[in-house]
C-alpha cells in the first residue's frame, strides 16, 4: 500500500523535527563554547591587571558605583554579548 499524503507530510515533519533538534544541540554547544572563551578572556584581563580574588568584588562594586554616577550616557555592556576575540590585550592590538 502506498503511503498516503498524510503519512508523507508526517514523515516530513518528523525529518524536519530531527534536523531542528540537531541544530538546537549545535547552538547550545556553540553558546557553551562562546561562554567558556568569554570567561577565559575575563580571567586573562583580571590576571593582566594582577587583581586578587579578594579585591575583585570591591573593584567591581566601585566600577558599578562609578557607572551609576556617570549616568545614562554610559553604555550598558552587560546587555550585550561580547563577540569572541573582541577583548584583546595591548600586545595583541599592537600586532594587528
Q: Could you read off the pLDDT of 49-83 as tens digits, one per residue?
A: 888 889 989 988 988 877 777 765 555 555 445 55
**Tens digits of per-residue pLDDT, 83-96?**
555 544 444 444 44
Q: Which residues are within 8 A (CB) of 21 and not within 5 positions of it... i.e. 6 or more apart?
A: none
Going 19 to 23 to 26 to 28, the CA torsion angle's sign is: negative
Write down the domain spans for the chain. 17-70
pTM above 0.85, yes or no: no
CA distances from 62 to 10, 50, 56, 57 (A): 58, 17, 10, 9
Amino acid at each position: 500500500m502506498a503511503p498516503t499524503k498524510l503519512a508523507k507530510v508526517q514523515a516530513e515533519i518528523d525529518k524536519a523535527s530531527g534536523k531542528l533538534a540537531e541544530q538546537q544541540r549545535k547552538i547550545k554547544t556553540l553558546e557553551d563554547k562562546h561562554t567558556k572563551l568569554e570567561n577565559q578572556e575575563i580571567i586573562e584581563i583580571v590576571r593582566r591587571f594582577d587583581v586578587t580574588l579578594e579585591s575583585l568584588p570591591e573593584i567591581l562594586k566601585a566600577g558599578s558605583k562609578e557607572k551609576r554616577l556617570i549616568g545614562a550616557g554610559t553604555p550598558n555592556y552587560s546587555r550585550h554579548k561580547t563577540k569572541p576575540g573582541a577583548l584583546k590585550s595591548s600586545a595583541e592590538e599592537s600586532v594587528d
